[in-house]
Amino acid sequence: MPQVDPVTTEVIRNAFISIASQMNNNLARSAYTPIIYEMKDCSVGLFNENAELLGQAPGLPICLEAAINATTEHFGGLDIYRPGDVYAVNDSYLVGSHLNDVSVFSPIFHDGDLVGFGATKAHWMDIGAKDPSQTNDATSIYEEGYRLGPTHLYREGRPETGVLQFITRNSRLPRSIWGDLHAQIAACRTGERQLGELMDRFGRSTVEAAAAVVFEQCEKLDRAAVSAIADGTFVTEGHMDSWGPGGGPVFVRATVTVEGDEMLLDLDGSSPQTPGCMNCGFAQTIAAARLAYKLLINPEVPVTAGTFRNLRLTAPEASIFDAREPAACQYYYPHLGMMIDRAEHARGGGRRAARRSDERALRRQGPRDRRRLRHRGGHGCGLGGLVRRRRHERDDQLWRWRPEEHPRGGAGVPLPHPRASLRRVAGLRWPGPLAGRLRGGARVRGAGRRRDALDMVRAHDHARLGAVRR
């Protein structure tokens, strides 16, 4: 493998990220449904021939390589791939997430040789579940829609008509499904074309050598950061009220062990898989564990295949973090969100900076009240604003009570500013001592004293996301 100078390495490193970003842009521009082109409920990545991540666009933290590895294993090796092939997988036990999130990928060839993969994952609005769009009261995965193992959609450029008809005929929104699927394929084709152009410009051997250097650099940075942490074992736990109506509590226990430059996250002691749909496959637990790790270790460094080589993860079989058939997995995120927060909490010793989080609620429970502030859209708690600006929205906008519904007054009574509500309900110190140094900046006041009373969980109720209630 040739030696690559630092300048060329940086050009190729940023080219990988640029290619992934262009794939993501084409997916959003081509998609039929707003959950993709507006909410960006999707993930895009560029991989080498060994399913090692080269570049990833900003989006959901999903392990897209799980679909590639599952397909390669299912069909018996890399020799099965041909130019023009397109595959789809959505089996929750193989690729994590719920069945609505469908992974679509295609192999990339250069001069007749397999050199990589372009992969996408996007939320399809309806896949034939027992309820329209998706069901939140399923007790088995068979109620949640069609389940695709590694499946050929296109074979050497020719459509598998029977499979495509099955996918659309079993959806209440066949046109949208068809459009979103081909938007994902267009994104994969974008990655195929641009990676080929990159190899034409620099040569395949140079690109591969630069990728190896990037992986090595990321691994060294992470190992150095973990080595700076004092060795030890940190245990934390939390729970949610129930897995569904009438259900029992769901316990999350995280043990973080730091030893030298290695970190281990052990989820032993967490609840077994639930009778409802609050479960997930192990692939999704890997993605969540990597997110928790990345929030603590070099969050400013782009993710590559070298990023998580010193992170190990274990979870008990047939648990909420490693569900087995026939467990339903529609509501896969609440316990993962708590695990992410608990893992950070364990390492932070009960005091940490509030950060931009996914759709979560700050919940404070006491003997006389229960208060909840819900974020809208998955970003908040930072000095830069509570929510990310979206089309038709202004900065710092939250869904709030209408004046006539407000418990402290009627029409004409001004509502408190969302930031004031956030500070009061969450007990945030504003600005925090980490302002300007870490994403967010504010921190929870007295978190060490009441850490058991303050949990961050996903906002489940999509009807009134963001409502401030008292």
Confidence of residue 427 (pLDDT cuts 50, 70, 90): low
- Cis check: omega of the bond before 107, within 30 degrees of 0: no
pLDDT exceeds 70 at position 460: no
User: Per-residue pLDDT averaged across 8-19, rounded?
Assistant: 97
List pLDDT tens digits, range 241-293. 999 888 999 999 999 999 999 999 999 999 999 999 999 999 999 999 999 99
Confidence of residue 389 (pLDDT cuts 50, 70, 90): very low
Residue 4 is predicted with a pLDDT of 94
Look up residue 88 and give its two tokens: 């789809």
Amino acid at 274: T
pLDDT digits (tens, 9 = 90+) for 37-65: 999 999 999 999 999 999 999 888 788 99
Beta strand segments in 360-423, E = 361-365, 370-374
Residue 89's closest CA among 128, 147, 164, 21? Answer: 147
Q: How many residues does the chain have?
A: 470
Of 285-299, 354-368, 408-422, least confident by mean pLDDT is: 354-368
Give pLDDT, residue 245. Answer: 86
In whole angstroms, what is the distance from residue 72 CA to residue 80 CA?
8
Instruction: Write down the domain spans for the chain.
Output: 6-218, 350-470
Peptide bond into 326 cis (omega under 30): yes
In the structure, how many helices (H) and strands (E) does the chain have?
11, 17
Per-residue pLDDT of 307-320, as tens digits, reads 999 999 999 999 99
Q: For 140-178, how does the pLDDT look when each residue is reduced to its tens digit (9 = 90+)?
A: 999 999 999 999 999 999 999 999 999 999 999 999 999
Grade residue 332 by pLDDT with cuts at 50, 70 and 90: very high
pLDDT tens digits for 194-240? 999 999 999 999 999 999 999 999 999 999 999 999 999 999 999 99
Q: pLDDT, tens digit, for every residue of 128-138?
A: 999 999 898 99
pLDDT tops 50 at residue 381 = no
| pLDDT at site 379 | 30
User: CA 207 to CA 200: how far, in whole Å?
Assistant: 10
CB 267 within 8 A of CB 321: yes
Mean pLDDT of 347-355: 43
pLDDT for the residue numbered 2: 85
Average pLDDT across the chain, whole number: 80
Residue 418, pLDDT score? 45
Residue with the larger pLDDT of the pair 223 and 447: 223
Residue 111 corresponds to which amino acid? D
Question: Cβ(399)–Cβ(376) under 8 Å?
Answer: yes
Judge whether residue 35 has pLDDT over 80.
yes
Q: How confident is the model at residue 224, as a pLDDT?
A: 97
DSSP 19-70: HHHHHHHHHHHH-SSHHHHTT--EEEEEEETTS-EEEE-SS----THHHHHH
